[in-house]
Structure 1
Amino acid sequence: MTARRYERESGHGRRETRSVRTLTVTDLGLNFPHVAQAAKIHRHRTDLKTGKITHETVYTITDLPARAASPQIIGQLARSQWGIEAVHHVGDTTFSEDASKIRTGHGPESMATLRSFAISTLRTAGHRGIASSLREVSYTPFTRPLNLIGLP
C-alpha cells in the first residue's frame, strides 16, 4: 500500500512544499526485520528574497505500522527532528559544546545541564538572542544571573 501527503507552508522568508510518500514494506514480502514502512520525503523550497529554488529528498524507514504512522505523522516526526537540532545548534555555537574538553565522570552531563539551564533561563526571561543575552548578563553585576531565576 502506498500513501501520500502534501503540505505547503510560508515563513522565515521562504515558501516550502513537502510531500511524504510511504510504502508498507511488510506487504512486499521482503525480509527486513523491524521495518514496517519506508518513506520518501521531498522538500521544495523557494527563497522569497532571492527566488532561489532548492529541492531535497530524504528516505527513511520506520518500525511504525501504517495504522500508527500515516504520511502526515511521518512528516511531523521528520520536522520535529529540526527542533532538536536547533537546540543543539544554540548550545554548540554559543558555548562551543563540541569543543569541550570535559570528558570524565559526570562532568560532561553536568555541564550540558548547566548550559541548557542557562539557555532556558534566558529564554524564559524573554531574551531571544542567547549569545548577546549572555554578554549582557555578564556585564551587569554578578547577581544578575541570580535575579533571572528569582534569587536575591
Structure 2
Amino acid sequence: MSVLLVACSAVLTGARSFAAIGQWARNAPQDALARLGARTATVFGVRVTPSTATIRRVLNTACPGGLADLLGHDPAEADTLAVDGKSACGSRHGDTPAAHLLAAITGDGLTVTQLRVPDKTNEITCFADLLAPYDLTGVTVTADALHRQRDHARFLVEEKTAHYVFTVKRNQKSLHGQLAALPWQKASAKFYDRTRAHGRLETRVVQVLTIADLGVDFPHAVQVA
C-alpha cells in the first residue's frame, strides 16, 4: 500500500513517468514518507523509499479497478457519467497485448471506477460489470457508438434507474436510417452556436426531437439529437 500511496503523491505533484515517481520518492522528506507508510530501516528509524524498479513492478501488477474503487468518486453525486475505453500507453510487452481499460468518469473529470478488459473480449462485455456496483439513479450515462447496445439501454433504465445518451453512426444502418428519416423540419428545440476557430467562422446547430410516438426501434429511446 505504501508504494501505491507514494506513487499517487508523486503523480499529484506532476510526475508523469516511473523515473519521475522514483525521483520524487528519493527527495521526499521523512515526515511525508512516514505519513505514506514507507518502511523503516536501521535503529534510527529512517524511512526508506521504494526503488524505481519496485514502483514499476507494483504499479504494473496492481488492479486498476481496485485502485479506482479505493480512490474513486461516488457517482450518485454526479449528474452525468461518461464511459469510455483506452489502451494504456506503454503496457504492451512482447507478445502480451496492451492493457485496455474501461473507465467511468463524472462530468467534472473525476474517475469513479475502471477495469481491465480481458484479452480476446471487448468493452461491450464489461459495460454492465463496470457500473453494476453503483447507485446511478437519475444519472445520465454517455457512451460512444460501440455501446449503442439494446442490453446496455435496458440495463441502465430498468436496473439502474438511469438515463443514457448513445451515439449512432452510419454503420448502424437500420437505426441510423430510422433517425435520419424523422421529421426534423418539425424540431422546435434548437441550439445555435457560432464561433471563430482556426481562422474561420464555425456554426453548429443542434436539433432535438421527442420520438416517443415516432416508431424508433430502440429500448427506452425518448429523444434524438
User: TM-score w.r.t. structure 1 length?
Assistant: 0.26
> Greater Rg, structure 1 or structure 2?
2
Tell me which of the two structures has the higher relative contact order, counting C-alpha pairs closer than 8 angstroms and 6 or more residues apart: 1
User: TM-score w.r.t. structure 2 length?
Assistant: 0.20
Q: Relative to total residues, which structure has the larger helix share, 1 or 2?
A: 1
